[in-house]
């Protein structure tokens, strides 16, 4: 499940002309397909890849590139609409109307660079992707526990 920022509207995948994201599915994740689409839009909103006025890929483009049922895409877009994040315009498509972005793009760029360095160090230490996810998840859980004044529950170093 990844979000690819588009350089232009000519790329393949489920991006479609003019859409800044491309949907990808992870069949092994256990997460329902429609929810993967919802999460990818929410992540793109948080990271500033999508902004109010941006168009999501058209349902037919997503269906064609991912080989999924149109109702799955419609369900995801409906869920985003209920959350107040997007709005459908008959005959035009689905457009972003709210954002979840919390940090400006320059700060995100610096944080991403720092995180990429950390990932390289974790890879160099011999962690595979699952190990990296486990370590990050554990550290994030401990961080939120400490920040909230709560006890981490002895999860330090344990995913």
My answer on whether 17 and 67 are in the same domain is yes
Calpha distance 116→94 (Å, rounded) = 33
Calpha distance 70→79 (Å, rounded) = 14
My answer on whether 115 and 94 are in the same domain is no
Split into its structural domains, the chain has a count of 2
Q: Does residue 156 sit within a domain?
A: no
**Residue bearing the bigger pLDDT, 109 or 127:** 127
What's the predicted TM-score (pTM) here? 0.65
Q: Does residue 9 sit within a domain?
A: yes
Provide the CA 10 distance to its chain's centre, in angstroms. Answer: 21
Q: Does residue 110 sit within a domain?
A: yes
Calpha distance 159→157 (Å, rounded) = 7
Helical H runs in 14-103?
Answer: 33-46, 59-66, 70-82
My answer on whether 80 and 142 are in the same domain is no
Sequence-distant (≥ 6) Cβ neighbours of residue 86 within 8 angstroms = 41, 56, 77, 80, 94, 95, 96, 97, 98
User: And the tokens for 99?
Assistant: 């954002």
My answer on whether 72 and 123 are in the same domain is no
My answer on whether 109 and 93 are in the same domain is no
Instruction: Express each pLDDT in 16-70 by its tens digit.
Output: 556 789 999 999 999 999 999 999 999 999 988 899 999 999 999 999 999 999 9
Calpha distance 65→74 (Å, rounded) = 15
My answer on whether 116 and 89 are in the same domain is no
Q: Tell which of 71, 86, 101 closes a domain.
A: 101
Q: Does residue 139 carry a pLDDT above 70?
A: yes
My answer on whether 34 and 79 are in the same domain is yes
My answer on whether 73 and 4 are in the same domain is yes
Q: Does residue 154 carry a pLDDT above 80?
A: no
**Per-chain mean pLDDT for the chain:** 83
Decide: 15 and 8 in contact? Cβ < 8 Å: no
User: And the tokens for 90?
Assistant: 């008959």
Q: Does residue 78 carry a pLDDT above 90?
A: yes
Range of the domain at 34: 1-101
């Amino acid at each position: 499940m990844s979000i690819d920022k588009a350089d232009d509207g000519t790329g393949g995948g489920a991006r479609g002309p003019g859409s800044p994201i491309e949907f990808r599915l992870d069949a092994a994740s256990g997460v329902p397909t429609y929810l993967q689409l919802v999460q990818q839009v929410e992540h793109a909103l948080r990271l500033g890849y999508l902004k109010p006025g941006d168009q999501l890929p058209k349902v037919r483009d997503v269906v064609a590139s991912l080989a999924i049922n149109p109702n799955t895409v419609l369900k995801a877009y409906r869920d985003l609409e209920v959350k107040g994040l997007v709005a459908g315009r008959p005959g035009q498509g689905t457009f972003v109307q709210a954002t979840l972005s919390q940090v400006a793009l320059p700060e995100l760029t610096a944080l991403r660079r720092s995180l990429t360095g950390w990932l390289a160090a974790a890879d160099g230490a011999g962690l595979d992707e699952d190990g990296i996810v486990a370590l990050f998840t554990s550290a994030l859980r401990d961080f939120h526990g400490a920040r909230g004044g709560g006890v981490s529950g002895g999860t330090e170093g344990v995913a």
